[in-house]
């Protein structure tokens, strides 16, 4: 602890004096105090009244300037986690690699982080250069310098309605350019997830990635293999549910980042039917996100991996495996491959399997089988999945149309729509045989 404290003191003392940030007034950035959530305003006010500096930072500021409603608000301050914790009764310190404080304001949870120092020779990294621990506090200028992109290094003060801009992020946002702070190769080695983030932000905001930041991505894509699968999964969820998933996937492919993120996704996108099915699913998700409708990770991942299940299932049937057991074996194998790259939770995996398992049952439109299918908890998700299969040409449109009409019909109409079951062959009744093979005397 003493060594860390002395290191921080000497770093600050030896650091060259900076010119300071550009102070941008509301007339130029367009953000008003009322644009910030009440919880974020109260958190900043409490910290400032206690003598600390506190700002709304990062993505929320960026999105507000771009005219997008932020999903959440993060706070940056010069107060340490322990000092923040002491000011808020409903708060807790979380994280090991990046220690932050969760402050609960009503139903809202704010992430409050302490200004961090720039990385140096003493920063703990792995053999590939990825930062493993980052809890050395610094100045606001240090904190701005260690952020990934210029458009994320923006600090909004609700009390004065000004934006502090250390790296010309507001200008880059206005000029539709995504620039990285510092040397791109070093920054990608520190955290390879920044390459995914560059794709997501450029697609979401309609930005062009600066050539210096874009050029190393294809060469350094292999660094993603060293990132914990849970972090990759979180970033992929943000990307796929950004409302711009189609554009994100296209840019992932352009930059060579799609290989390995989802098992064999690059192969799927090279198959006409597979690509059509995936793009239909992504387009549907984008539309739901933009309309504010609920979305399901299980449904989307089920669509992304369905063509791999189909190929695996078909191979098993050719080897003579039974129809339905072969499907379940194929499902398990594909999800096991997926687990090597993305930490899909058990609940999401269960949703995926439920949707896949329903698909063969849609082919049966007779008797109680069809009626019971309507009662399944995951029927609606399975039905939506069937519609995508029909739109892509995998199954007949007539099958999807039948289920559309069947589920909306009344009881009598449903019974009339049912396809008659095929008559089962019955054994012709004969006289029972004795053990010796002779005909036994008829009973009675």
Catalytic position from the list 134, 142, 148, 172: 148
Q: Rounded CA gap, 150 and 145, in Å?
A: 9
User: Which H or E element spans position 110?
Assistant: strand 108-114
> E-assigned strands of 133-291?
154-157, 162-165, 177-178, 208-209
Q: Rounded CA gap, 91 and 84, in Å?
A: 8
Q: Are strands 177-178 and 208-209 parallel, antiparallel or unpaired?
A: parallel
Catalytic position from the list 63, 72, 234, 332: 72
**Dihedral sign, Cα of residue 29, residue 69, residue 217, residue 99:** positive
Q: Rounded CA gap, 159 and 144, in Å?
A: 20
- Are the beta carbons of 180 and 148 closer than 8 angstroms? yes
Q: Rounded CA gap, 347 and 353, in Å?
A: 10
| Residue 199: φ, ψ to 5° | -65, -45
Q: Rounded CA gap, 183 and 86, in Å?
A: 38
Active site residue 72: yes
Angle at 68 between CA 66 and CA 69, to 5 degrees: 140
| Cβ burial 320-359 (10 Å sphere, 16+ → b, else e) | eeeeeebbeebbeebbeebeebbebeeebbebbbbbbbbb
Active site residue 143: no
| Residue 103: φ, ψ to 5° | -110, 125
- Are the beta carbons of 84 and 77 closer than 8 angstroms? yes
Active site residue 148: yes
Which residues are the active-site residues? 72, 74, 148
């Amino acid at each position: 602890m003493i060594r860390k404290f002395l290191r921080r003191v000497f770093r600050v003392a030896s650091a060259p004096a900076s010119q300071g940030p550009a102070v941008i007034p509301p007339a130029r950035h367009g953000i008003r105090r009322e644009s910030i959530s009440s919880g974020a305003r109260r958190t900043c006010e409490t910290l400032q009244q206690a003598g600390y500096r506190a700002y709304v930072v990062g993505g929320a500021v960026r999105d507000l300037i771009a005219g997008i409603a932020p999903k959440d608000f993060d706070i940056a301050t010069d107060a340490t986690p322990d000092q923040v914790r002491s000011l808020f009764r409903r708060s807790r310190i979380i994280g090991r690699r990046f220690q932050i404080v969760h402050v609960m304001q009503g139903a809202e949870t704010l992430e409050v982080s302490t200004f961090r120092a720039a990385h140096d020779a003493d920063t703990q990294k792995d053999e590939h250069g990825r930062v493993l621990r980052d809890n050395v506090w610094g100045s606001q200028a240090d904190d701005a310098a260690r952020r990934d992109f210029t458009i994320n290094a923006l600090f909004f003060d609700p009390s004065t309605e000004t934006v502090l801009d250390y790296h010309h992020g507001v200008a880059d946002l206005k000029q539709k350019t995504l620039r990285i702070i510092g040397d791109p190769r070093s920054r990608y080695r520190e955290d390879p997830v920044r390459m995914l983030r560059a794709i997501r932000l450029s697609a979401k905001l309609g930005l062009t990635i600066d050539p210096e930041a874009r050029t190393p991505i294809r060469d350094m894509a292999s660094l993603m293999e060293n990132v914990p699968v849970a972090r990759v999964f979180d970033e992929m969820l943000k990307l796929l549910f950004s409302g711009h998933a189609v554009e994100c996937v296209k840019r992932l492919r352009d930059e060579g980042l799609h290989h390995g993120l989802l098992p064999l996704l690059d192969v799927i996108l090279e198959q006409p039917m597979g690509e059509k099915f995936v793009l239909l699913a992504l387009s549907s998700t984008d539309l739901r996100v933009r309309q504010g409708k609920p979305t399901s990770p299980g449904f989307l991942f089920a669509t992304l991996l369905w063509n791999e299940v189909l190929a695996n299932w078909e191979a098993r049937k050719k080897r003579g495996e039974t129809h339905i057991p072969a499907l379940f074996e194929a499902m398990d194998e594909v999800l096991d491959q997926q687990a090597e790259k993305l930490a899909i939770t058990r609940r999401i995996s269960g949703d995926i399997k439920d949707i896949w398992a329903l698909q063969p049952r849609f082919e049966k439109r007779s008797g109680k089988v069809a009626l019971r299918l309507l009662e399944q908890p995951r029927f609606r998700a399975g039905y939506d999945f069937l519609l995508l299969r029909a739109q892509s040409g995998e199954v007949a449109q007539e099958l999807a149309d039948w289920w559309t009409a069947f589920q909306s019909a009344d009881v009598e109409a449903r019974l009339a729509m049912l396809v008659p079951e095929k008559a089962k062959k019955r054994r012709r009744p004969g006289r029972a045989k004795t053990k010796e093979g002779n005909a036994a005397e008829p009973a009675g």
